[in-house]
Amino acid sequence: MPRPISATIHLSALSHNYRIAKKYGGAAKVWAVVKANAYGHGLDFALEAFQEADGLALVEVDGALKIRAAGWSKSILLLEGFFHAEDLPLVAQHRIEVAVHCVEQIALLEQATFAAGTEIRVHLKVNGGMNRLGFKPAAVDMAFRRLSAIRAVKVVDLMMHFANADDETNVRLPVTEQLQRFAQAQAALGDASLEISLANSAANLLNASLKNDWVRAGIMLYGGSPGKGSAASFGLLPAMTLASELIAIQELEAGESVGYGSRYVALQPMRIGVVACGYADGYPRHAIDGTPVLVNGVRTSMVGRVSMDMITVDVTGIADAKVGSVVTLWGQGLPIDEVADASDTIGYELMCAVAQRVQLIKGE
């Protein structure tokens, strides 16, 4: 009854990938990052698959409350902290830990009234040069002192995020430079006993010497590459298979074109399969001719511009391709990163973009 497109979520792959994150993290505890509806995999499925996680981290306050309501009793961390004063009573009541990255958040904590016995665990964010969130090293001590003066607040952690953990050739802001800035921030705090959290997936997988107490594992949990090296090379398994069906076949003569803009022109007679999947399902409109797809498990190429609800694929060499044939867009048998490469983007974006109209199905 729905359109024939669905994303099967492989819960065992999610669990497996979490264990890989633990393995690479050594003694570190690992946050399973489940923001953006668990990178498009569904928060409910993620919760089920990450039962053994040390904690769950996300950016959505409502998502955090949902997880708590579903019975998750271990740590929950808001990676961007709270956004508004009205978030604070909820954070306090449901024991949600928060990043604090700016003085405006500190001021809200200072102004709030908390019940006696409240403890809000704060992860103090250091801006190590990425200039997104966090205090510059010179301001970290001030932030720590102000936070420590608030009765309900307990600063537990120093966090930083790398701009280029996936690219050791970046000379503008190498990992080493960020680590030096982080060390400055630590030194300013003297002997304050704080845990540290530095590694995202890329740092966890690619920077073996990095020491930290908490890893923040995101893309790797979902079987995507952190930017360098294939996911498979780290032992990661795809956690989502996006699949649809052929809904039509067209026989083309040489010289005929396909789709909007007539971008693709057949050089010889071809059979074209039309797939119920378009950019409004989350398939990338930037995908070029030749982007890989599987039809009945056989690898072939997308051709022609991606439409809102359809793509067109070459089924010339796939004799058994017919209306109803299964088409795999990415997942088991076809790494999402290959489709991302052909669309000039990253697997992260594709996973997150899977649209509401695509059914999420629980798989092995």
Residues 210-239 that bind its own copies (CB under 8 A): none
Identified binder of its own copies from the candidate list 68, 286, 298, 301, rule CB under 8 A: 286
167 binds its own copies (CB under 8 A): yes
Distances in Å between the alpha carbon of 344 and those of 100, 261, 340, 350? 34, 20, 6, 11
Identified binder of its own copies from the candidate list 14, 49, 163, 221, rule CB under 8 A: 163
Q: Could you tell me the two tokens for 74?
A: 């271990």
In 3D space, the residue among 121, 187, 188, 189 whose CA is nearest the CA of residue 152 turns out to be 121
Of 137 and 282, the one with the shorter C-beta distance to its own copies is 282
314: helix, strand or coil:
strand
Site string for its own copies, 294-333 (x = CB under 8 A): -------------xxxx-x---------xxx---------
- Give how many residues touch its own copies by CB under 8 A: 74
Q: Which amino acid is at 319?
A: A
Only one of the segments 13-21, 68-76, 98-106, 203-211 lies at the binding site for its own copies (rule: CB under 8 A); that segment is 98-106
Of 231 and 274, the one with the shorter C-beta distance to its own copies is 274
Only one of the segments 66-74, 190-198, 232-240, 249-257 lies at the binding site for its own copies (rule: CB under 8 A); that segment is 249-257
Closest approach of Cβ 11 to its own copies, in Å? 20
Of 218 and 292, the one with the shorter C-beta distance to its own copies is 218
Closest approach of Cβ 309 to its own copies, in Å? 5
Of 210 and 252, the one with the shorter C-beta distance to its own copies is 252
Strands 257-258 vs 264-265: parallel, antiparallel or unpaired:
antiparallel
Q: Is the dihedral of CA 308, 1, 4, 38 positive or negative?
A: positive
Identified binder of its own copies from the candidate list 57, 252, 313, 334, rule CB under 8 A: 252
242 binds its own copies (CB under 8 A): no
353 binds its own copies (CB under 8 A): yes
The answer to whether the beta carbons of residues 239 and 319 sit under 8 Å apart is no
Closest approach of Cβ 78 to its own copies, in Å? 10
Identified binder of its own copies from the candidate list 15, 17, 127, 328, rule CB under 8 A: 127
Q: Could you tell me the two tokens for 164?
A: 């280029």
Closest approach of Cβ 165 to its own copies, in Å? 9
Spatial separation of the C-alpha atoms in residues 337 and 271, rounded to whole Å: 27
First to last CA, the chain: 23
In 3D space, the residue among 178, 168, 150, 325 whose CA is nearest the CA of residue 247 turns out to be 325
Active site residues: 35, 260
Please state at what angle helix 103-111 crosses helix 137-148, rounded to 10 degrees.
10
54: phi then psi, degrees, rounded to nearest 5: -70, -30
Strands 5-10 vs 240-252: parallel, antiparallel or unpaired:
antiparallel
DSSP H or E stretch at residue 10: strand 5-10
Q: Which amino acid is at 98?
A: V
Identified binder of its own copies from the candidate list 8, 17, 37, 197, rule CB under 8 A: 37
Neighbours of 316 (CB within 10 A): 18
Only one of the segments 7-15, 69-77, 128-136, 228-236 lies at the binding site for its own copies (rule: CB under 8 A); that segment is 128-136
Closest approach of Cβ 349 to its own copies, in Å? 5
Q: Could you tell me the two tokens for 8?
A: 């099967």
Of residues 75 through 94, those in contact with its own copies by CB under 8 A are: 80, 83-84, 86-87, 90
